[in-house]
Amino acid sequence: MRILELLKHSWICRSLAIAFDPTKASLSEPELVLLRELVAESEGIEGPIIEIGTLIGRTTTELALANRSIRKIVTVDNYCWNPWALPPEIHYQTAAAILRFPVSRNIVEQVHQDKSAFYQSYNRSRPSLVFLDAMHDYEGTKEDILWAQSVDAEIISGHDYCDEFPGVIQAVDEFGGPKRLAGSVWSLS
């Protein structure tokens, strides 16, 4: 498998092997409950579920498990950052390995692209749900919300509405604040 080959040859990954904890790349149980509820609320809308910020695909997998319809889940990331300092190619390959089954079943589409380029080229139907978890600053979060509004997303939600990320709080509050909040997962009012 390509990812194992890459990991074996990477001194960075060998030195980080103990620190690599994939549970740090997911939502808490109360946050997952809200995410599942949002997916259920979006069931009647035909458009895709869009996730901005894949990291390693754990939240993507939860979206796929909660999705009861034939809507595709499109997850977008440029794989330039991760909390374990994995090189971008290993980061991408890790996410691809985790998402292998839903991608092979055409449930998930893994887009390896900068979110701004994805936004500019987006020509699909109105998203039923957009989940924002890429940039955790004011400008990035505002850009994400504006894009989701511009494509008339039915539900706009995201992660990291917490004191650690004041820019996320500021941007979300400028758009009316959270209608619902569980942990740091929010949906707009």
CB neighbours of 164 closer than 8 A, spacing ≥ 6? none
Question: What are the pLDDT tens digits along the chain (189 aa)?
Answer: 555 555 554 544 454 454 666 666 679 999 999 999 999 999 999 999 999 999 999 999 999 999 999 899 999 999 999 988 899 999 999 999 999 999 999 999 999 999 999 999 999 999 999 999 999 999 999 999 999 999 999 999 999 999 999 999 999 999 999 999 999 999 997
CATH topology of domain 2-188: Rossmann fold (3.40.50)
Q: In whole numbers, what is the pLDDT of the chain averaged over residues?
A: 91
Per 3-state DSSP, the chain is made up of helix, strand and coil in percentages (nearest 5) of: 45, 15, 40
pLDDT at 18: 46
pLDDT at 102: 97
Look up tokens 């939600």; give the residue: 157
pLDDT at 84: 87
pLDDT at 4: 52
pLDDT at 20: 62
Q: Are 171 and 147 in contact (CB under 8 A)?
A: no
State the number of CA atoms in the 13 A half-sphere of 127 facing the CB.
27
> pTM of the entire structure?
0.89
Q: Are 16 and 85 in contact (CB under 8 A)?
A: yes
Q: In 10 A of CB 25, how many CB atoms?
A: 19
Q: Are 81 and 95 in contact (CB under 8 A)?
A: no
Domain range annotation of the chain = 2-188
Look up tokens 């080229």; give the residue: 121
Residue 112: closest CA among 63, 54, 182: 54
How far, in Å, CA of 94 to CA of 6, rounded? 10
How far, in Å, CA of 64 to CA of 11, rounded? 34
